[in-house]
Amino acid sequence: MSIHIGAKVGEIADKILLPGDPLRATFIAENFLEDAVLFNEIRGMYGYTGIYKGERVSVMGTGMGMPSISIYARELIVDYGVKRLIRVGTAGSLNPDVHVRELVLAQAAATNSNIIRNDWPMYDFPQIASFNLLDKAYHIAQDLGMKTHVGTVLSTDLFYSKFFEQHLALGKMGVHAVEMEAAALYYLAAQHGVEALGIMTISDSLVNPDEDTTAQERQTTFTDMMKVGLETLIAE
Ligand code: HPA
């Protein structure tokens, strides 16, 4: 096992879906995978390996924020040989044209975190998605009839940030939404030469705070996003 994941090498597929919430990993395993086997429950960060449409895939929670996803993604890549990682999560809209329940494919992730700056103080090293996965996910989402935005997200360290106005100013420059994990995931993928993509549904809007969703609508959107994530995971 690695330091934070209690699986033996070989128990995790080389393709993994990464929701932030470990209970969503359980939901995905129970509702989408056949023969799902639990490989981790350390810290309640449930991870499963099973079969989706004949392909072996895994799903595991990452927790919230870049420090947490950095631990899990690094161990998955370095200790378990995972080659394709797709984050499926939620984000807050920063753009009046990006509405609650719509999908954002994070082509790039800006960040105010020091995680990347610490390594590259002289460079604005851009955090970008795998174009291969992005291209596949976009067409899969289109085929499912989902309203899909492709562009930049902001990955921030603080949910309760005092930089609300700056986030909105970035929204005016085309940043679609704010979330808390994509930049670190993309950086790890770049460091280790593997594929990563962030897929988010908009759960709330910082520009249209009146936009709301019912629990049922959130569940439907979530289920649709999982389909995009799983189909992209197994696409050739
Ligand atoms: N901020 C940061 N992360 C988020 C948000 C938000 O408003 N909504 C969903 N994830």
- The reported pLDDT for the residue numbered 141 is 97
Please tell me the residue having the least CA distance from ligand 1 atom 2.
179
- Going along the chain from its start, the domains and CATH numbers come out as 15-234 (3.40.50.1580)
Mean pLDDT score, 11-23: 97
The answer to whether the CB of 178 is under 6 A from ligand 1 is yes
The answer to whether the CB of 120 is under 6 A from ligand 1 is no
The answer to whether the CB of 100 is under 6 A from ligand 1 is no
The whole-angstrom separation of Cα 160 and Cα 56 is 38
List of E strands, the chain:
15-19, 34-40, 47-52, 55-60, 84-93, 103-111, 127-128, 148-155, 177-179, 195-205
Nearest ligand 1 atom to alpha carbon 206: 7
Pick the residue with more confidence: 153 or 222? 153
Q: pLDDT-derived band of residue 221, with 50, 70 and 90 as boundaries?
A: confident
The whole-angstrom separation of Cα 51 and Cα 33 is 5
The whole-angstrom separation of Cα 38 and Cα 186 is 26
Find the radius of gyration of the CA atoms of the chain. 17
- The reported pLDDT for the residue numbered 106 is 98
> To test ligand 1's pocket by mutation, which of 103, 159, 160 has the most ligand atoms within 8 angstroms of CB?
159
The two three-digit tokens of residue 194, written as one number: 């593997």
- The reported pLDDT for the residue numbered 185 is 98
- The reported pLDDT for the residue numbered 87 is 98
The two three-digit tokens of residue 232, written as one number: 């992209």
The answer to whether the CB of 221 is under 6 A from ligand 1 is no
Instruction: Find out whether 181 and 62 touch, Cβ atoms under 8 Å.
Output: yes
The rounded percent of the chain whose pLDDT value lies above 70 is 100
**Closest to 50 measured CA to CA, from 68, 61, 40, 36:** 36
Please tell me the residue having the least CA distance from ligand 1 atom 7.
92
pLDDT digits (tens, 9 = 90+) for 36-62: 999 999 999 999 999 999 999 999 999
- The reported pLDDT for the residue numbered 222 is 87
The active-site residue, picked from 21, 79, 204, 224, is: 204
Residue 119 bears catalytic tag: no
